[in-house]
Structure 1
Amino acid sequence: MEIREQDNCRVMFDPVLLAEDPWQSFEPDFWQQQQAVVGSARGRGTTWFVRGQQMEMALRHYYRGGLFGKLVKDQYRFSDWASCRSMAEFTLLQHLVAEGVRVPRPVAARVCKSGLFYRADLLTEKVPDATDLVDRLQQGPLSTAQWQAVGAMIRKMHDSQVNHTDLNAHNILLDREERIWLIDFDKCSLADGEHWKEANLSRLHRSFVKEVDKAGIHWQAADWQQLLAGYAG
């Protein structure tokens, strides 16, 4: 892992995964000039999918949500480099990869300070040919084995003591080989003990119930029991 600094900015990156200039790699214009933008997705902002020399990647700028986000859309209070949003998520993804949890590999993180505040960006591996569970379940139900695989991957994450505070059906992916991926670890963290794990599962259960009405997904109580069976091992 390498760390570079210039003009009140710090970049942390993996030189094995990123062959491009780490400073330019956070600029969408750079990728557009290389004709390397392969797609985008809209959320609070635009996530750009780009083709690097080593792999396809997802480039995300951090934006605030909620009412406060309408006033200060992308600035956060600076305390130290390690706790900045992109640096913290980068480090957490490194931990998960080392623990064998299937998550996008972190490629690079950038933080730029301005007075007491900072802005942040993150570059991660793009999961190839993947669909989130909501989209997948709109097409049809999952098999028993697939539900158990979802539960087993969540258990692996929990065994690594990572508290995913926004675990929902959109943050679980299936790729073309039917492998399970977990994504979106912004504001997540390592946590001691066991008490928070049930809260993660309860949040996920509520998201399935919600998406039955909202998106018409193919999901029923028996599917949840199969997920719990996979979680229990």
Structure 2
Amino acid sequence: MTLPGGVGIVFDSARLPQAPDIAHLFDLDAWPQITPVLGSGRGAAWFVASGTHLAVLRHYRRGGLFARLLGDWYPWHGAERTRGFAEFNLLAEMADHGLPVPAPLAARYQHDGAGYRADILIERIATAVPWAALLRNDLGNAAWESVGETIARFHRAGIDHADLNVNNILLDGSGQVWLIDFDRSTRRALHRRWRYRNLHRLRRSIDKLLASYHYDDALVSGWSRLRESYALTMAQGLP
């Protein structure tokens, strides 16, 4: 859907049938309940709610060295290559394949000259907490096997997660593991190199979170259990 002012929106018409009002969903003022997402990295994500509708609204911002120079501005290479549209489409594809990801609700770009700014609205997973919280509270019983199995399912499907870390892995009240935040992620041919890069990035985030536990028996055992579960699932070829 293209709107005046260089605005483009894609949305799930089954979940959001109110097409004329879609654009307002990207305005924080449109939501009665707004809570900043702690640990979102760049301070640009909010839990939003209206009645029984729970979602996460995220504004794309740069990190690293370019953050001060460019902030939330990205060069334009076409609508389908905007950060929001790319993540929306990948989430929809993964959901169709039965992978545990939050449903994408809508994405928007605001095209201005040679660049654009972008947002995405995603379903919030009720009762889910970051894996980081479980690791801090009960390291030995932090669902290591389930996390390893889930990561392997994504890898079997060719999903290369660009930022796999302890805050982008969630567990809900039933123990189901979910992966979130697929900005810059992609689907590619199965290869050991990018799979191991994902796992190494995850291990670095665990070590950063649990710096004082680096050689703790529970951490060594947990990581070993995760890797074993991951390897078994990869070998079995589960979807």
Q: Same fold (TM over 0.5)?
A: yes
How big is each residue's C-alpha offset from its partner over 1:150-208, in whole Å with a ceiling of 9 and x where there is no partner?
11110111111110121111111111111101011111111123131111112112222
Distance in 2 (alpha carbons) for counterparts of 1:219 and 1:209: 13
1:176-215 equivalences under 5 Å are 176-195=173-192, 196-213=194-211
Change (3 A) 1:214 1:28: farther
- Which residue is 2:35 aligned to? 39
**Distance (Å, rounded) in 2 between the aligned partners of 1:18 and 1:115:** 30
TM-score by length of 1: 0.89
- Match for residue 237 of structure 2? none
Q: Which residues of structure 2 form unaligned runs of 5+? A: 234-239
Trace 1:143-162 onto structure 2 (pairs within 5 A): 143=141, 146-162=143-159
Determine the C-alpha separation between the residues in 2 that align with 1:202 and 1:65.
20
Match of 1:123 among 118, 121, 124: 121
Where structure 1 has 5 or more consecutive residues not aligned to the other structure, the ranges are: none
Deviates more, 1:116-125 or 1:170-179: 170-179
Matches of 1:179 and 1:102 in 2, distance apart?
8
Aligned sequence identity (%):
35
TM-score, normalising length: structure 2: 0.87
Query: How much has 1:229 moved relative to structure 2?
Result: 2.2
Alignment of structure 1 residues 65-76 onto 2, 5 Å: 65-76=63-74
* RMSD of aligned residue pairs (Cα, Å): 2.1
Q: Counterparts of 2:74 and 2:218 in 1: how far apart (Å)?
A: 38
Task: Map Cα deviations across residues 29-48 of structure 1 (whole Å, 9 max, x no partner).
Answer: 111xxx2x142225313312
Alignment-derived partner of residue 58 in structure 2? 60
The 5 A counterparts of 1:84-99 are 84-99=82-97
